Structure 1
Amino acid sequence: MQSREQQLVELVDTAGSAAGTATVEEAHRAPGRLHRAFSVLLVDPDGRLLLQQRAAVKTRFALRWANSCCGHPGPGEPVVAAAARRLDEELGVSTPLQEVGVYLYQAIDPDSGRVEFEYDHVLAGEYDGPVRADPGEVARTDWVRPAELAERLVRFPEFYAPWLGGVLDAWRSAAR
């Protein structure tokens, strides 16, 4: 099986139009190459959000808390299909997903020097069932209320993935 770092991602321009391909490793090497990504937020019936603490082996922002699941579609792969696949791989979860927004961000991991420069499709789904996290991907999971998460992001940003605030904002904007 090909390592995740050698898989191809779709490079994009700032409008999200395809502009070529690169490996995951190449796209995340400084200064970073803008590429398509997705971030999933799962919401339970009480309105809580499922967060995951990224596994220690992650090459970018290891052990930081992030949204339920994230990843990269392959070149030309539908974003929702890729997100559903990764949701099953990382958390053992299957649920319908809907795109609720897109945002662009760039962040350098201070530990690894790798760069996230992503055109991030934010997807949301409702879920109220068991989570079977893959320990190679996820250290821990937790359900948290959106207002509590927003407060934590301000008070303790170093514990969270740098894209999580933008994911939360996109989800909140769509819910209005």
Structure 2
Amino acid sequence: MAQIELLAEQVVLVDETGSAIGTAPKSTIHGPDTPLHLAFSCYVLNPLGQVLITRRALAKKTWPGVWTNSFCGHPLPHESIPDAIDRRARFELGLDLDDVTVTLPDFRYRAVDSSGIVENEICPVYLAIASGDPIPNPDEVVEFAWVDPATLRRSVLDLPWAFSPWLGLQLKELTGFAT
């Protein structure tokens, strides 16, 4: 994705029912009064059943340096979430994905990080399969690990401050995953 495209990236604003009501520049959306907007989270599994977790780059505006799910993002206006997942998987992780499946279609959360920036998202959660290792974009991901889902669940319970809040909330709702 070219730098000019990143600067012009738009986020879809939604109402309480999840219906689109407008757009806003991604660069301006996250602050102390972040409006409700559309996003997605994706958990990537390998053929061994391990889940890819990533540590957010230290320059990220929200939750820098914390461990999180494989990747997240925002669909562009008029872009399907599966297409957005494909775009962000390649951009953030250099991965091509197979078997992308929605697992928590109605997930929604609001969280405030230590700097006061709010995340306020309707954020369907997806699972996908990848056969290779990621090649992370250093502007997005500082490190990654393939972990057993049960180990991830225990780690999030034991050290919640080290993980993104959406990861902890999503793991509570994901059935058949990280049990």
Is the pair's TM-score, using the shorter chain for normalization, greater than 0.5? yes
Distance in 2 separating the partners of 1:68 and 1:170: 17
Match of 1:77 among 35, 60, 79: 79
Contact 2:53–2:68, Cα closer than 8 Å, also in 1: yes
Distance in 1 separating the partners of 2:176 and 2:7: 32
Count residues in correspondence. Answer: 175
SS in 2 for 1:33: coil
1:106 corresponds in structure 2 to 110
SS in 1 for 2:28: helix
* Counterpart AA for 2:53: L
Match of 2:16 among 11, 14, 17: 14
Distance in 1 separating the partners of 2:177 and 2:158: 25
Distance in 2 separating the partners of 1:76 and 1:169: 31
Query: Are 1:123 and 2:123 counterparts?
Result: no
1:134 corresponds in structure 2 to 137
CA RMSD for the aligned pairs? 2.1
Cα-to-partner distance string for 1:57-87 (whole Å, 9 max, x where unaligned): 1000000001111110112210110111000
User: Greater shift after overlay, 126-135 or 47-56?
Assistant: 126-135
* Counterpart AA for 2:94: G
Contact 1:39–1:167, Cα closer than 8 Å, also in 2: no
Over the matched positions of the two proteins, sequence identity in percent amounts to: 35
Q: What is the CA-CA distance between 1:126 and the residue it aligns to?
A: 1.3
Distance in 1 separating the partners of 2:113 and 2:4: 24
Cα-to-partner distance string for 1:142-172 (whole Å, 9 max, x where unaligned): 0111211111111111110110023334443
Q: Which ranges of structure 1 fall in alignment gaps of 5 or more residues?
A: none
Contact 1:80–1:99, Cα closer than 8 Å, also in 2: no
Contact 2:44–2:128, Cα closer than 8 Å, also in 1: yes
